[in-house]
Amino acid sequence: MKVVKTALPGVLILQPTVHGDARGYFFESFNQKQFEETTGHNVHFVQDNQSRSMRGVLRGLHYQIKQPQAKLIRVLEGEVFDVAVDLRRSSPTFGKWTGWVLSAAAKQQMWIPEGFAHGYLVLSKTAELLYKVSDFYAPDDERTLIWDDPTVAIAWPAHEGPILSDKDKRGRLLGQAEVFA
């Protein structure tokens, strides 16, 4: 597995070794031992989430404040612009973001440790994502950072919309949001 560091320390892009021939391809999308050796993170995943959305849908920026979740995100179909925002007040990169185009074709994954908000914008006609999380979903614990916060200033790719859920429309600005110590 190849590891690419992003602009935010701790957020990584993982490129698995893909074995392909005339029949198709094979790769290990997750191997605990290899993950720990290459990233330095010891993680225990407790839940897999899968979502499917159409072009222009923007999901996020979500996080759980009391039960933070580390996430390993992979696109099974289509293409998205995937974003992480550092919400650790004690971090030198607090309020900064990094984004990466993830696609089924490239087979890359994004590792987002605890303490970050996560969201994505669907760039293809449809996209299907699978992501592993390190803690269970706790709806009362979930928070949303507004996608277009001018302080964070995410450079989303050009798009119509976006198409947002009611919950995501009510996201908070960074200055009003509950964040991590």
Q: Helix or strand or coil: residue 163?
A: strand
Catalytic position from the list 25, 118, 131, 159: 131
- Label residue 178 by pLDDT band (50, 70, 90): very high
Could you report the per-residue pLDDT of 39-90, keeping only the tens digit for each? 999 999 999 999 999 999 999 999 999 999 999 999 999 999 999 999 999 9
Average pLDDT estimate for 82-109: 98
Confidence of residue 160 (pLDDT cuts 50, 70, 90): confident
The better pLDDT of the pair 110, 158 is held by: 110
**Class of domain 45-176 as given by CATH:** mainly beta
Give yes or no for a contact between 63 and 118, defined as CB atoms under 8 angstroms apart: yes
Who's near 176: CB < 8 A, 6+ residues apart?
none
Q: Give the residue-averaged pLDDT of 148-153.
A: 98
Q: Which of 41, 62, 137, 159 is catalytic?
A: 62
Instruction: Please confirm, yes or no, whether 41 is among the known catalytic residues.
Output: no
- pLDDT tens figures, 15-36: 999 999 999 999 999 999 999 9
Tens digits of residue pLDDT in 120-135: 999 999 999 999 999 9
pLDDT at 154: 98
Which residue is listed with tokens 């074709």? 105
Q: Can you read off the two tokens belonging to residue 167?
A: 């919950």
Q: How much is the pLDDT for 159? A: 82
pTM of the model: 0.95
- pLDDT over 70 for what percent of the chain? 100
Q: Which residue has the tokens 């997750």?
A: 30
Q: Catalytic: 62?
A: yes
Where exactly are the structural domains of the chain? 45-176
